[in-house]
Structure 1
Amino acid sequence: MAIAGVTSGFLAAYGYQWVYAANASGTLLAACWLAWSYRRQRERTQPGRRDEQADVTLVGPWRDVSFLRSIAALILITLAFDQMYVTLALFLREHYQLGPQWVGYLFTINGLMVVALQLPISRRILRWGLGLSTQLGVLLTGCSFLWLNVGHSVLWPILMMVTLTFGELLLSPSYAHW
């Protein structure tokens, strides 16, 4: 992920068509790898047949109010988080007059922080508890984009990405938990 951020940023500086060509190449390579892996391992890619005789009654998620509240909250915070992918590049260009390579730099910060800090933060979350870490992650994610309105220095987008990444690291266990 860290390499993709830098690479995409540099490719975007030469034209977005190169970013899309690289994305297509990577996706095709992944598809070929999966096809080769399935053939090589001779794994079945179709789900097994369900036993018609089994009489199992499962309680659906629609009756679990706590689960539904958590999912609704995660959807709302994801809407805020995904602004990184949707509007950040436009804002950096218009407000800061930064080129597309800066999106790559910021995603590189994100990727490197995730690689370096995911395990230590996950260990801390075991001590803090999932509820506290999720609340702190939501707070950091929600406030991260406010840094972009503070000034016009490159420091503010960097601080935004660092704050957003800490929020992401604190929220990610709650996504996996539910």
Structure 2
Amino acid sequence: MHSSKSFLEYDRQLWVLFAGRVIAAIGFSIVMPFLSIFLYTEMGVPMTVVGIVFLGNAVAGAVGQVIGGELADRLGRRPIMCISMVMRTAVFLLLSVAIAGMVDLWIIAILLMATSLTGSLFEPATNALVADLVSPGRRLEAYSILRVGQNVGWALGPLLGGLLAVISYASLFLFTALTSMIVAIITYTWISDSSRAITESDKLDASDLKKVWKNRIFIAICLATIPLFIVLGQMTSTLALFSKDIVGISVAEVGYLYTLNGIIVIFLQLPMARYVNKFRMTHVLVVGGILYAIGYFIIGWASSLWILVASMIIISMGENIISSPSINLVANISSEHDRGRYMGVAGIFQTFGWSIGPLVGGILYDSLIDKPVILWSSIATVSLISVFGFTWISKIIPREIDVVDDS
């Protein structure tokens, strides 16, 4: 276990990034849980169409990741981070005006895609900067610190968003514009660039990428994670709307649910990750998938806030269990020189699951809204696909890949 002194040994810029991650996550989580509620209840958009809007956002975000990573190498980390947040500020201001004026859906959808595109430019530059600042042996811990910062933001954002939504939905986007500008100022003031020139070894070779796709066990793992991320995608879409529209809780109480999720992740993620490291990772992912299934199945029986609270606790525990092994498994199956490439390919599958999650949930919501038990049982069943997938993988994967390296 690291002492507090060891945390202080990190470069000061890592803690600047941590503060920026908290503020950015507050802004993002103020908007996301309530976006589907606004589109469905205020604009009358069918949930299937809401799912398509979320899919468009995810596609724009994936494009932004690719562009941001390339520009971060060519122009530097700090310039791209600043440009990203300044552009996102402008787009969120436009969104605030558009939503206040209740403009056409297609305009709002385009602006939402622009926020996803501009925001995604920030992530690869940030991750690259951490790799520049931190020695290889401590990078995993450094990235974990940033993830805790993100969850601090997710604990605070929905709580504040639930209160602002009572005033107006436009105020959510106005506040997010403010947080984006604060992050831009922090980055410009306290971050110094550390980028390096591109070398021939940094350039992607198509043959290297083919080797990744030919790794059958790795691709099986990636395919098995898709259903988990489809289910996870319900968190900011179908679950939020169902909680308000069907269960009948207030928008503020929806915010409390997401705050509860953030609190559980913040305080229990590291202890749970240490505990599950004792077991084979595929077995842990099976347990996590079962917890997801149980948590989402319970939602179908929800008639009050407290049943939703019980469901959120179970779902959050599943999230804590899944997060660490899913990363370690990819790290173990790859070698040091191609680990980033493997992580990137795994990210494509995860993004795909997250992207189609709201669409799958939207179709089920529109079709089964009068049958909530069947609706959420169907979503829970999607998680069970991953359970069966990882159960099968556990029988074919070499044990040395499936266990945590304690050395």
Q: 3-state DSSP class of the match of 1:79? A: helix
Q: Does 1:121 pair with 2:286?
A: no
C-alpha contact (below 8 Å) 2:158/2:256 kept by paired residues? yes
C-alpha contact (below 8 Å) 1:9/1:101 kept by paired residues? yes
**What's the CA shift for 1:79?**
0.9
CA distance in 2, matches of 1:72, 1:31: 37
Q: Which moved more, 1:57-66 or 1:103-112?
A: 57-66
- The 5 Å alignment of 1:26-175 reads 26-38=179-191, 41-44=192-195, 48-51=197-200, 58=208, 60-175=211-326
**What's the CA shift for 1:153?**
2.0
Task: Compare relative contact order (CA 8 Å, sep 6+) and give the higher one, 1 or 2.
Answer: 1
What amino acid maps onto 1:49 in structure 2? Answer: I
Give the aligned length.
Answer: 172
Q: Deviations over 1:115-149 (max 9, x none)?
A: 11011101111112312211111111123121112
Structure 2 portions without partners, runs of 5+ = 1-153, 331-407
Q: Percent identity?
A: 22
**What's the CA shift for 1:35?**
3.1
TM-score w.r.t. the length of structure 1 is: 0.86
Q: Indicate which of 165, 171, 177 corresponds to 1:24.
A: 177
What amino acid maps onto 1:103 in structure 2? Answer: V
C-alpha contact (below 8 Å) 1:13/1:99 kept by paired residues? no
C-alpha contact (below 8 Å) 1:148/1:156 kept by paired residues? yes
Q: Deviations over 1:54-101 (max 9, x none)?
A: 9x9746310111111111222221111110101112101221111111
Q: 3-state DSSP class of the match of 1:163? A: helix
CA RMSD of aligned residues (A): 2.1
TM-score w.r.t. the length of structure 2 is: 0.40
C-alpha contact (below 8 Å) 1:118/1:169 kept by paired residues? yes
Q: 3-state DSSP class of the match of 2:278? A: helix
Q: 3-state DSSP class of the match of 1:84? A: coil
Q: Deviations over 1:11-35 (max 9, x none)?
A: 1222221221122221222233223
Answer 1 or 2: which has greater helix percent: 2
